[in-house]
Chains A and B, each alone.
Chain A
Amino acid sequence: MKEITAVIRMEKISSTKKALLDIGIPGFTAFKAEGRGRLVTDKNLLAKRKLSIVSMNSANGGSDVLMTEFVNGTKIFPCRVIIVLAADKDADKIIRAIIGANRTDYGIGDGKIFVAPLDEAIRVRTRETGDAAL
C-alpha cells in the first residue's frame, strides 16, 4: 500500500476532488497548511510573475513588500495538503489524476506529490486490514 501526500494550490481542491472521484477514489484526508517551494532562479519566469503581482497590487500600493518577499523567496504561501491511501495498483492512476487536475500555465507553484510506503491500514468499523480497509 502507498501513502500519497500531495501539496496543492488552495483553489484546486474542488477540481482535485472531482478528478479523484472520476477514477473511483472517493476517500481522502485534506487540511490547510502553508509552505514554500524551491527557490526560483529562472529570470524569465520571475519577470513574468512580477508583472502579474504588480498588476494585482497596483491599486493598494502593497506590491513592494510582496515583490521583495517573492523574489528573495521568504514569502510563505497558503496551500492545501491532501493524503490519499491507495493500493499499489491504484497509485499510478491517482498520481496522474492529481497532476492532471492541478497543472496550471504559471510554471511554478503547482505543488508536489510525495509517495511513501504504507505498512498497514485497518478499518475501525470492521477490523478489515490491508487493501480491503482502504
Chain B
Amino acid sequence: MLMVKTFIRPEKKNLLLEKLSKAGFHSATIIDVVGRGKQQGIKFGERIYDEIPKCMLMLGIEDIARDDVINIILEYAKSGAEGAFGDGKIFISRLEQVYTVSSGKTGL
C-alpha cells in the first residue's frame, strides 16, 4: 500500500476531489498548509511572499492504483494547458499496514 501526499493549489481542491471520487478513490484527508517551492516564493517589487497557501491531500491507495492516481492529479491539478510554477508536487511513500478503527481490520 502507498501513501500519496500531494500539494496543490487550494482552488483546484474541489475539482480534484470530484475527479478522484469518480475514478474510485473516494477517501482523502485534506489539510490547509503554507509553504514555498523551488521558485523561493512570489516576489512583488521589494516584498517576497514565501508562505504561499496550498492544500495537502493525503490518500492511502493500493500499489496497483499508483499510476491512475498520479495521472488524475497531474491532469486536474495543473493550471492551464501548459501548467505553471506553483501547481504543486506529489510525494509517494510506502505504507506497511493500514487499520480501520471501526472494524479493527487491516487493509484499505
Contacts and interface: CB of A to CB of B under 8 A. Distances in A.
Q: Is the interface of B mostly helix, strand, loop or mixed?
A: strand
Given A73-B21, A99-B104, A103-B104, A113 B99 contact: yes
A114 B21 contact: no
B71 interface: no
B96 A116 contact: yes
B101 A112 contact: yes
Interface string A95-134: 1001100111011111111111100000000000000000
A88 B8 CA distance: 33
Is the interface on chain B under 10, 10 to 19, 20 to 34, or 35 or more residues? Answer: 20 to 34
Contacts, number: 82
A81 B31 contact: yes
A116 B93 contact: yes
Contacts of A7: 29
Given A7-B29, A81-B29, A112 B93 contact: no
A8 interface: yes
Interface of A: 2, 5-8, 31, 33-39, 73-74, 76, 79, 81, 95, 98-99, 102-104, 106-117
